[in-house]
């Protein structure tokens, strides 16, 4: 079995007490059949530092972008474009809108989001979208900016079935995190049952949102296995099938060739 953690903040894990280093995290992941990670950036400086920390590896790819909660200053569009063009960057983001925590930066978030999509289209790299309390505007901007040209994923999905349907119509993938395992997440499970297998990705969003039975502890890529096992039950397939399909989905969305890695596995 070969699983991918399609969204983690590898630079944000606890390297003081829980993990020796990045190798340690990746070997814990591999021990649970998690053979590849997408390390997601949240600021441009953070992207540069994260690449330095992680280094070049055949089992990690990167995204480049500015998180909607990190809008203290105006986006440096030129810098985003040139960093995102670097080899090893397979996606833009995470970008999107978060009106829950920072409604005061709405306008700046919207402009940043639009720039990420425009650059994604120019570079032919899909966008990783975060949305919270901003469903209508998120859908409107995705449409306006013609995201269909580069594609993307709504990460850590917590919206309803109707929103999932609209995203699927735009060719989007939907990524499920440990939230789907939470006791009170019944409407999310309904959405997960609704989204077809060939559009599903799984992620940890580590170090946040550890799935049950690890809830409350630090999350890490190894635990995407728990998300996958849970999703397999929801979808009525075995976990090997869910792994096979979500890994194929990841490869086709982000244009990452995993065949060599999958062979040794």
What is the distance of C-alpha 134 from the center of its chain?
18
Residue 7, annotated ligand binder?
Answer: yes
Residue 67, annotated ligand binder?
Answer: no
Beta strands in 65-219 (DSSP E): 89-98, 127-132, 152-154, 173-176, 200-202
Phi, psi of 64 (to 5 degrees): -135, 125
Rg (CA), the chain: 17
Stretch that binds Zn ion, among 16-24, 55-63, 127-135, 249-257 (CB under 5 A): 127-135
130 binds Zn ion (CB under 5 A): yes
Task: Output 51 or 130, the one with its CB closest to Zn ion.
Answer: 130
The number of beta carbons lying within 10 Å of the beta carbon of residue 165 is 12
Stretch that binds Zn ion, among 22-30, 160-168, 200-208, 250-258 (CB under 5 A): 200-208
Task: Output 116 or 130, the one with its CB closest to Zn ion.
Answer: 130
The b/e string for 7-16 (b: 16+ C-beta within 10 A; e otherwise) is bbbbbbbeee
Residues 203-222 that bind Zn ion (CB under 5 A): 205
Give the integer Cα–Cα distance in Å for 153 and 129: 6
5 binds Zn ion (CB under 5 A): no
Task: Output 159 or 205, the one with its CB closest to Zn ion.
Answer: 205
Q: Which residues are annotated as a binding site for a divalent metal cation?
A: 7, 9, 94, 130, 155, 205
For Zn ion, the binding residues (CB under 5 A) are 130, 205
Q: Which residues are annotated as a binding site?
A: 7, 9, 94, 130, 155, 205
């Amino acid at each position: 079995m070969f699983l991918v953690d399609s969204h983690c903040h590898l630079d944000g894990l606890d390297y003081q007490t829980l993990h020796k280093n990045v190798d340690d995290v990746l070997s814990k992941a591999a021990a649970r059949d998690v053979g590849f990670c997408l390390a997601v950036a949240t600021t441009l400086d953070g992207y540069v530092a994260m690449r330095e920390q992680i280094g070049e590896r055949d089992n990690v790819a990167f995204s480049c972008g500015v998180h909607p909660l990190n809008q203290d200053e105006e986006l440096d569009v030129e810098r985003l474009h040139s960093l995102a063009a670097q080899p090893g960057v397979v996606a833009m983001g995470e970008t999107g809108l978060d009106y829950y925590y920072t409604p005061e930066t709405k306008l700046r978030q919207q402009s940043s989001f639009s720039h990420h999509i425009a650059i994604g289209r120019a570079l032919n790299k899909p966008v990783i979208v975060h949305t919270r309390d901003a469903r209508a505007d998120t859908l409107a901007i995705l449409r306006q900016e013609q995201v269909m040209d580069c594609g993307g994923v709504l990460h850590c999905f917590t919206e309803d079935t109707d929103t999932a349907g609209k995203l699927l119509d735009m060719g989007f993938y939907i990524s499920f995190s440990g939230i789907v395992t939470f006791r009170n997440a019944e409407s999310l499970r309904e959405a997960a049952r609704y989204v077809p297998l060939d559009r599903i990705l799984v992620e940890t969003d580590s170090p946040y949102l550890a799935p049950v039975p690890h809830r409350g502890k630090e999350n890490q890529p190894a635990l995407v296995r728990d998300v996958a096992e849970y999703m397999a039950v929801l979808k009525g397939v075995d976990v090997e099938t869910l792994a096979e399909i979500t890994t194929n989905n990841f490869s086709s969305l982000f244009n990452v060739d995993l065949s060599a890695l999958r062979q040794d596995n």
